[in-house]
Amino acid sequence: MSVSEAEVLLEKSKPMDAEQVTLIAEGFLYRLGYTHGLRPIKASIEGEKYVVELQLKKKTARVDVDIATQEVKAYQIEEATETGFHLPMTRRTLMIIGGIAAAAIVIVLKFMGMLPI
């Protein structure tokens, strides 16, 4: 038996960990078409299955993976609930607004004679 065959046998006999289960869940959701914005939230064991929760852009996905067969047994995708105030502005928008505000302050100070430019 070669070294690579032994590694393959060890991989199969080794129990899954949270990282492997998360990769299985991400791959499953990717194949369903959720290609952007996948962010793992939680991975836990419930009985004979791993439960992985992932944050999508505006949704939350729950994927159940069987421990013995390493197969996805069930999944559920729900709209995410907003828990706090979320400002829907990008960094670029905030920088533009900040630049305009700074320019306005400079103009006001110039007209008041407090800025010798």
pTM above 0.85, yes or no: no
pLDDT digits (tens, 9 = 90+) for 70-105: 899 999 999 866 666 666 778 889 999 999 999 999
> Rounded to whole angstroms, how far apart are CA atoms 52 and 44?
7
Pairing state of beta strands 59-66 and 72-79? antiparallel
Question: CA-based angle 55:48:62, to the nearest 5?
Answer: 15
The pLDDT score that the predictor gives to residue 35 is 83
pLDDT digits (tens, 9 = 90+) for 9-51: 445 556 788 899 999 999 999 999 988 888 999 999 998 899 9
